[in-house]
Amino acid sequence: MTTMVPARDSLAVSLADVLPSCIASLRGGENRLSLSPTTAIVVLVVDGLGSASLRARSAYARTLTSASGSLWSGFPTTTAAALTTLTTGVLPGQHGLVGYRVLDTAHDRVVKQLSGWDDRLDPATWQRVPTVFESVPTDEIATYTVGPKRYANSGLTKAILRGAVYRSAESVADRFRAATSILRAGGRSLTYLYVPELDMAGHSDGWESDKWSRALENLDGEVRMLVDALGAGQALLVTADHGMVDVPAHKHVLYGHKPELLAGVRHVAGEPRCLQLHLEPDLGEEARRGLLDAWRAAESHRSWVVTRSEAIEQGWFGDVAPEVEPRIGDVLVAARKGIAYYADEDDKARGMIGQHGSWSDDETRVPLLRFGALAD
């Protein structure tokens, strides 16, 4: 086994604790985040905002950095898995979205969890557990999600946001205004406010780019106005699904030309910073061991190369349900250094600069910032 394999701290606060703690706060009860009692909470989810990048660009985010706090996002550090952890209150081993690309065992194919939904992948059953929104009686706490119109009826929305009223708003400013209008209407409410623009800027130009900094500055201005609009008992909680590392093209690792790294591989799932290799079902133990050894010989100096059972043993996905286990790769290759894996030079995704998916602090540590009635 690869040495120094990271293990999940089972006691660490994570994204799974955020919405259950908000519901407890709205009910005036104890919770994992020690949130005080509130009457209304907006949970701002900033896609791609890691704690490290926020600190590094603090000059563009004076409102956000006026508060402090962070938590562990979960693993893998990819949007579909992390957002589902947030909205269900459980880790991927239970909810079932275990990566960006995941093996659909019933149809022997790899499906993108953000955009690959079709009539063979039912959001109501593929995502296996009730959402936090579904667990709350609507006459007790009103629940809303605010996001771009293009996501309103997506498969991912139907899988992870069911139970909440979806309000569409295109621009960042429009989304903040929609959240503010919910607060002004009064009553006990929980609002999930989603901002993907930083993640988009990071993927295209990198989080160290001027484009990303400008997007952060724009976001910070909207946060300031929302904080100023909070009434008595109302609060804003800011968090993110994952952080990001910039990986220029010269740090891409191409593996498709090495037959020893693909011998017996039926499907490649996961993401460039955390490959999940699914092997041929009838592949013998000697061949399986040979593939594992080949990857470890080639990549252990810059990645963790582990088997599914080793990843589960170390708690990477939390407790794993029997139904979910086959969705996880037989072999996982999780980047330790600032690299990303691609099969060949022609992969269109190689234009992406900002990346995430693995175990670095830059990817796994995300903000948990409290304003209004929750301010320290």
With respect to residue 290, please indicate whether it lies within any of the assigned structural domains. Answer: yes
- Least-confidence region, from 109-113, 346-350, 364-368: 346-350
Interatomic CA distance for residues 228 and 63, integer angstroms: 11
Residues 170 and 204 in one domain: yes
Please report whether residue 7 resides in a domain.
no
Q: Are residues 64 and 85 in the same domain?
A: yes
Q: Given this model, what pLDDT does residue 64 score?
A: 98
CA distance 157 to 84: 10
What does the alpha-carbon distance between residue 242 and residue 178 come to, in Å, rounded to a whole number? Answer: 24
Residue 2 has a pLDDT of: 46
Domain contains 109: no
Q: Which domain does 155 fall in, by range?
A: 15-100+114-246+359-372
pLDDT one-digit tens code per residue, 235-285: 999 999 999 999 999 999 999 999 999 999 999 999 999 999 999 999 999
Residue 241 sits in the same domain as residue 312:
no
**pTM of the shown model:** 0.97
**19 and 151 share one domain:** yes
What is the rounded CA–CA span in Å between residue 309 and residue 316? 10
Looking at residue 327, which CATH number applies to its domain?
3.30.1360.180
**13-41 pLDDT, tens per residue?**
999 999 999 999 999 999 999 999 999 99
Helices (H) and strands (E) in the chain, counts: 12, 18
| Domain presence at residue 40 | yes
With beta carbons less than 8 A apart as the criterion, state whether 15 and 86 touch: yes
Whether 93 and 172 map to the same domain: the answer is: yes
Same domain, 45 and 145: yes
**In-domain check, residue 10:** no
Task: State the Cα–Cα distance between residues 326 and 157, nearest whole angstrom.
Answer: 24
Does residue 351 share a domain with residue 285?
Answer: yes
Predicted confidence at residue 159, as pLDDT, reads: 98
3 pLDDT band, cuts 50/70/90, is low
Q: Report the sign of the C-alpha dihedral through residues 17, 67, 40, 37, in that order.
A: positive
Helix axes 197-205, 210-229, angle to 10 degrees: 170
Same structural domain, 278 and 150: no
User: Cα–Cα distances in Å, from 289 out to 6, 263, 330, 331?
Assistant: 21, 11, 11, 10
**Per-residue pLDDT at 71:** 97
Query: For residue 107, is it within any domain?
Result: no
- pLDDT tens per residue across span 36-64: 999 999 999 999 999 999 999 999 999 99
Per the structure, the count of domains in the chain is 2
What pLDDT score does 4 carry?
A: 78
Q: Has residue 301 been placed in a domain?
A: yes
Please check whether residues 151 and 57 belong to one and the same domain: yes
Note whether 59 and 193 are same-domain residues. Answer: yes
Tens-place pLDDT, residues 82-131: 999 999 999 999 999 999 999 999 999 999 999 999 999 999 999 999 99
Q: Which residues contact 293 (CB under 8 A, 6 or more apart)?
A: none
The verdict on 206 and 317 lying in the same domain is no
- pLDDT tens string 157-176: 999 999 999 999 999 999 99
What is the CATH number for 90? 3.40.720.10
Per DSSP, 318 falls in state S
Counting other chains too, the contacts that 80-86 makes at CB distance below 8 Å and 24 or more residues apart are: 80/113, 80/114, 80/156, 81/113, 82/15, 82/241, 82/242, 83/45, 83/156, 83/160, 83/241, 84/127, 84/159, 84/160, 85/14, 85/15, 85/16, 86/15, 86/16, 86/18, 86/19, 86/45, 86/239, 86/241
Residue 9 lies in a domain: no
Q: How does DSSP assign 52-120, residue by residue?
A: HHHHHTGGG-TTGGGS--EEE--SS-SHHHHHHHHHHSS-HHHH---SSEEEETTTTEEEETTT---TT
- Is the pLDDT assigned to residue 181 strictly greater than 70? yes
pLDDT of the residue at 1 = 44
pLDDT of residue 202: 98
Under the banding of pLDDT at 50, 70 and 90, the label for residue 376 is confident
Residues 202 and 96 both lie in one domain? yes
